[in-house]
Amino acid sequence: MRRFFAALFILVFASLLAGGWYVYHRGFTRKWRTYVSDEFRARGVELSIRQLTLDPFRGVLAKGVKVYEAEERKSTLGVIDEMRLVINWANLIRGKTFLDALDLRDATVALPLDPADLRGPKIEVKRMSGRLFLPPEQIYLSSFEAELYGIRINASGRIVNPQAARSTPRTAPSNASTQAILRAIQELKALRYKADSPMLELRFSGDLARPETVFVEAKLWAEKIQRGPLNVETLYLDALYRDQRVAIRQIAASDQRGVLRVSGSYDLQAHTAELQLRSNIDPQPAVRAFARVAELDEFVFYGAPKIDLTASATFGETLSLHVAGHLDAGRFGYKSVVFDQGTLDGVWDGERWAARNVKLVHQSGEITGDVMQLPGDFRTRLKSTINPKALAPFLQGRAAEWFKQFDFLDSPDLSLEVAGPKPDAESLAGNAAVRLGRTSYRDIWAQAVTATLRYGDRKLSVDPMRVIRTEGSADGGLQFDFVKNEVKVEKIHTSLHPQEIIWWIDPKLLHDLAPYRFGKRPPNLLMDGLVHTKGGDTTQLRVDVDAPGGMDYTFLRRELHASQISARLDFTSARMKITNLNASVLGGKLRGSGDISLKKADPNHSADVRLENMDFAALTKLYFNYDDSKGRLNARYGFSIKGADARSMRGRGDLAVTDGKVFAFPFLGPLSYILNGIVPGMGNDVARKGAASLSISDGVLTTDDFLVEATGFEMFGAGKLFFLDDKMNFDVRINARGLPGVLLFPVSKLFEYTATDTLAKPNWRPKLVPRL
């Protein structure tokens, strides 16, 4: 009998060893795994167990556990590599609920972002350790620890009626939400911790059958966090979920410059959110750590800017948003422009925004004002004493090129009001008052400028305007049409040098005004009309000139000086017409009109002039370098010419010289010696009149009725003077008057002379030589 019991004991012990070995290595049967799964199902959790084994030291272990969303097991919520089941064996034998708790030790859980795709992206929680108690209709988590991408988690809490979560309908995750979670995982992986790993504490409780009772509290501590260029010295988070409302009680982050503090809340029932933010940290490293914002890269902050912000939002059928705050940027730079201070108060509601009490302080002055943008309505009101050249880097394109033509030695005063449907040059309209000190435009300086500006429809009106320079002033108005490329000149009265102020209107006109040179005393001008800056055919500009200080002008390669001159000039795109010309020239008067071409391809000019009582000696000295002429000249001459080509001149006229020498005409000078040989003193006779009608063509002056009337004789002549080639072909006949004329009449043919030599030194010889 003793041997029987010994053998039976050995058999039972061997069976137990064999069964233990089998259960440990091969696991419990499928029936047992289903039995355990049914236990979890009764508690509201749907799962499957790949293997259920018995460890002699740890007890019953479930391996390869998959937790499903519903009984159909189409969506997987998570996968746990291993967990220990705490079984109440007495209840198991009696057929009652036998699962008391779950133990996790260095377990890993993978939570797929898409429950229907186990091979897709997952959230991995590692080193899970702790005990999950499972009393009836409850889940109690005690002293749970885990690691989530470098963050240590410590959690505890109790959930009642966990099975209620199964009755809550779930929707498939959207691609946007999946991408957002993936981005969050990437950001967590990118963080580097130079000190201890961050610690996240979670506390929770509530009845899932009554969502309003759910309570979750989270607190996070971290130090020495690095993300790219961002270095966070300390980070603290305190958040709470209660009464279906998420409250961020505090987020505090510090860097080497300051602290960022954030608080806010979100009401899940009302779908409303609130946020408060205060910061004096450097925003650039924080933004660059997560995104590249090109506009922010243009800034350089010499001190941390101060931001005070509040925001509220309602998430309904349409988003209702309101953001208000204050910014004090301190000293900062933007696009190489350094400001000593920048402050503003701003509001934004998603569609509308406004910046009030804007203030930018620069070493040259400051800008103050307000800016507002409503749907279809943009408005701004600004005052500035900043030197505009300091703001030049803000401009681009044609505006920048145009602005480069200005220079400011003194900061101007500017008051500006602008409005339009949107903030661009094509749709804005506004007005401004400007007071400038020493300022140049296109390198032409003014001591002071005051103007009222109006802008609209891409037209800039500067009217009224006053410009003060050392030599005088200008008053009037200008209107720039940037669409038509036109400048409208509105009754500008000026005593400034025209060669300089014409640069302000259109530099291309300078070439046309270059021949008219005024001395130290500039003329008085009245300008009115239109100028096309691109050479179009709309130019219609009138200029009334009154120059009491005189003017110099190049005519036929010689410099004419008018001691006084006045005229009216009418400019078109192709021509300049001169009317009412009245000048004091060479001791007499010059009157007339002209039509001058402004096109290089067609330089055809014409003029009609009258000379009254002009000093003939001065004229011959200027054009013929002849010193012995005397008398007064009266003449009329109409001509046309191509450019400055004297040979192309074509003209007709007549002239008369009185109260001079008989031979006042230079080319006749040598005849005086001949006449003195015939009748002593005849060559020095004073002429009552010398006259001729003439025509000019190809550099040749032609006359058929040259007449000189003196006391002792008359002279008749005809021929050609090649004044450009210093040649002549001219004949004269001299008739003595009175008794000498009667006595010499039979031999009068002997007093006909001809000259074919140079014009400067003619060689007169008799036409008829008598036979000896």
3-state DSSP percent of the chain in helix, strand and coil, to 5? 20, 55, 25
**Separation CA 426–CA 487 (nearest Å):** 18
For residue 727, give the nearest of 758, 763, 760 by alpha carbon: 758
| Phi/psi of residue 33, nearest 5 degrees | -65, -40
| Most distant CA atoms of the chain, gap in Å | 204
Tell me if 76 sits within 8 A of 67, measured CB to CB.
yes
Peptide bond into 464 cis (omega under 30): yes
Burial class (CB in 10 A: 0-12, 13-18, 19+), 692: buried
CA quadruple 170, 176, 182, 187: dihedral positive or negative?
Answer: negative
Q: Is 15 helix (H, G, I), strand (E, B) or coil?
A: helix
Is the overall model pTM greater than 0.75, yes or no?
Answer: no
* 272-279 vs 540-547, strand pairing mode: unpaired
Cβ–Cβ < 8 Å for 144, 129? yes
Enter the tokens of residue 77: 């919520």
DSSP 163: G
Let me know the angle formed at the C-alpha of 567 by 565 and 569, rounded to the nearest 5 degrees.
Answer: 140
* CA pair distance 665, 682, nearest whole angstrom: 16
Residue 76: DSSP 8-state: E
Say how far apart CA 494 and CA 571 lie, in whole Å: 18
Quick one: DSSP state of residue 485?
A: T
Residue type at position 727: K
Say whether 569 sits in a helix, a strand or coil.
strand
pLDDT tens sequence across 87-142: 777 776 776 777 777 777 877 777 777 766 667 777 888 888 888 787 777 788 88
DSSP secondary structure string for all residues of 293-344: -HHHHTEEESSPPEEEEEEEEEESSSEEEEEEEEEE--SEEETTEEESEEEE
Helix, coil or strand: residue 676: helix
Element (H, E) at 24: helix 2-25
d(CA 545, CA 523): 7
What 8-state DSSP symbol labels residue 118? T
Tell me, what's the pLDDT at 744? Answer: 45
Q: Which residues of the chain have pLDDT under 70?
A: 1-29, 43-44, 56-57, 69-78, 92, 95, 115-118, 165-174, 176-177, 289-291, 505, 512, 556, 624, 626-628, 660-667, 669-688, 712, 736-751, 768-772
pLDDT score of 769: 54
What single letter denotes the amino acid at residue 297?
D
| Token reading at 366 | 């400051």
Q: Could you tell me the CA-to-CA distances from 262 to 226, 267, 307, 310, 436 in Å, in that order? A: 20, 17, 11, 10, 47
Measured between alpha carbons, how far is 449 from 466 in angstroms, rounded to an integer? 6
The rounded distance, in Å, linking the Cα atoms of 477 and 527 is 10
Instruction: Map out the domains of the chain as residue ranges.
Output: 26-167, 191-334, 632-766
pLDDT at site 14: 41
Burial of 132 (0-12, 13-18, 19+ CB in 10 A): middle
Token representation of residue 305: 């800017």
Write down the pLDDT at residue 115: 66
Angle at 233 between CA 328 and CA 153, to 5 degrees: 125
DSSP category for residue 483:
T
Residues 6+ apart with CB under 8 A from 196: 223
Candidates 380, 332, 379; CA nearest to 360 is 332
pLDDT of residue 365: 92
Following DSSP, what letter does each residue of 613-653 receive, concatenated? EEEHHHHHHHHH--SS--SEEEEEEEEEEETTEEEEEEEEE
pLDDT value, residue 309: 94
Task: Collapse the DSSP code of 219 into the 3-class scheme (helix H, G, I; strand E, B; otherwise coil) and give the result.
Answer: strand
